[in-house]
Amino acid sequence: MKKVYIIGALKNPIVPEFTNTLVDAGFDAFSEWYTPGPDADSYLLDYAKRRGWSYKRALNSYAVEHIFSFDYKHLQSADLAIMLMPCGKSGHLELGWHLGQGKPGFILFDSAPERFDLMYRFATDVFFNQQDLLNALQRFK
């Protein structure tokens, strides 16, 4: 069974249901990075500020190392990745890293982007609805 790493934003409400859709389609879909909730990054930033830490100090903290290692382990073991839009800089870095490993990576847009970005051509393919993506994923089973 192919492992799919779902890349997305903590604030994207469709992550759990999309994960279920992939599981129902026969994939081992991973999105448990989502479980800390939509404000996890804000709480981490607030904690770092209250500690008087610089950005670099926070980036090298035990908490960040732990979270990064968790995400990296699962991204590294994935056969393919899907980035759910809208997504932030971290998600784009994850997709870029995954593609750089020679593995397929897809983008599922929630709507046509307002700003044109030709670098999305790095992705294996882009989609604007789940069914088209699911159809394309069949060849990777």
DSSP, collapsed to helix, strand or coil, labels residue 10 as: coil
pLDDT (tens digit, 9 = 90+) per residue, 109-134? 999 999 999 999 999 999 999 999 99
Name beta bridge partners: 122. Answer: none
Fold type of domain 3-140: Rossmann fold (3.40.50)
CA distances to 12, 44, 113 from 34, rounded to whole Å, are 9, 15, 24
pLDDT (tens digit, 9 = 90+) per residue, 87-110? 999 999 999 999 999 999 999 999
The answer to whether 108 and 133 have CB atoms below 8 angstroms apart is yes
**pLDDT mean across residues, the chain:** 96
Q: What is the pTM of this model?
A: 0.95
